[in-house]
Amino acid sequence: MSAAKMPIASPSIQICRMMRPDDANIVGNVHGGTILKMIEEAGCIIGTRHCNTQAGDRCVAALARVERTDFLHPMFIGEVAHVSAEITYTSKHSVEVQVNVLSENILTGAKKLTNRATLWYVPLSLQNVAKIIEVPPIEYTSPEQEEEGKKRYEAQKMERLETKERNGEIIHSVTVPDRQTKEPYSVGYSQSSLIHLVGPSDCTLHGFVHGGVTMKLMDEVAGIVAARHCKTNIVTASVDAINFHRKIMKGCVITVSGRMTFTSNKSMEIEVFVDADPLVEAEKGKYRAVTAFFTFISLDKDNKPVPVPPLKLENEEEQKRFEEGKARYLQNKAKRLADKERQP
């Protein structure tokens, strides 16, 4: 009879590095994708470390979902990013990691909170990628803290299932000659795709793609869509929940596609899909791996927000996606106002 597993004190880590020119756009703003990649790396480290504190199969924490993430302040070349991660809830087969990102101006010592993120990981055996390992429990400061974590777990589980149901649509990429026939500020005009061959440097010990690599590519495509629409400097304002539906293995060709779904006066929403095509096991066919909504804002030369050109809608499907995007925009706006009112 095996001994009962003793709860472990909530683990935490911190990593930091300086932002380099290749982390940023042409005006010095650090790419949202670069920050998302650092957030995921911190989550993967702490999740993998925690899940290997018990006897049995060695495992690695695989990213399953990232909750909505707001970019509170911009980060610039030369600043130091401090990424702190803490495990805040564990279920039998998943780990919740909460991450904060601070930017530090090393000349003045000034620090700003730039991001808060919540990520969910699943531990997979190194011997068998299809085997999910049981997660060691953590110690909670109170029963209320555990109950709140359980509520977050159930909510994200339900939302993942709902997202998976609408996961079948394939976006066809728009070629350059086709774009010349499209109306400026229409969905088709800014729609963009990126094709990437997954190599060893993109992958975990299991041979599947790091979640951070995928998020960085998604942010790049969303940024291209936003820049084509506005023709200005653009920055990531927020990312709605990113759902990782299926693993992407080494050797796959991935197509990352983005299209504009909604514009307000100050922001624009871009829907991004990642489709994987296994070249070696072509009989398995192409599949939808990841989906998310990114929100960008348009900036002038002084990094001040400027109005976003209205999106031209050309058919009922685009109108439907626009209305759905508007509902998400109003819901998120109401939540931000409610959070602001609750602050002391």
pLDDT in tens, the chain (344 residues): 344 456 666 678 999 999 999 999 888 999 999 999 999 999 999 999 999 999 889 999 999 999 999 999 999 999 999 999 999 999 999 999 999 999 999 999 999 999 999 999 999 999 988 899 999 999 999 999 999 999 999 999 888 777 766 665 555 555 554 777 889 999 999 999 999 999 999 998 788 999 999 999 999 999 999 999 999 999 999 999 899 988 999 999 999 999 999 999 999 999 999 999 998 777 778 899 999 999 999 999 888 999 999 999 999 999 999 999 999 999 988 888 887 777 66
Task: Show the domains of the chain with their CATH numbers.
Answer: 12-138 (3.10.129.10), 179-342 (3.10.129.10)
Contact by Cβ (8 Å): 61, 267: no
Could you report the per-residue pLDDT of 102-124, keeping only the tens digit for each? 999 999 999 999 999 999 999 99
Give the per-residue SS3 of the chain: CCCCCCCEECCEEEEEEECCHHHECCCCEECHHHHHHHHHHHHHHHHHHHHCCCCCCCEEEEEEEECCEEECCCCECCCEEEEEEEEEEECCCCEEEEEEEEEECCCCCCEEEEEEEEEEEEEEECCCCCCECCCCCEECCCHHHHHHHHHHHHHHHHHHHHHHHCCCCCCCCCCHHHHCCCCCCEHHHHCEEEEEECCHHHECCCCEECHHHHHHHHHHHHHHHHHHHHCCEEEEEEECCEEECCCCECCEEEEEEEEEEEECCCCEEEEEEEEEEECCCHHHCCEEEEEEEEEEEEECCCCCECCCCCCECCCHHHHHHHHHHHHHHHHHHHHHHHHHHHCC
Residues serving a catalytic function are 25, 219
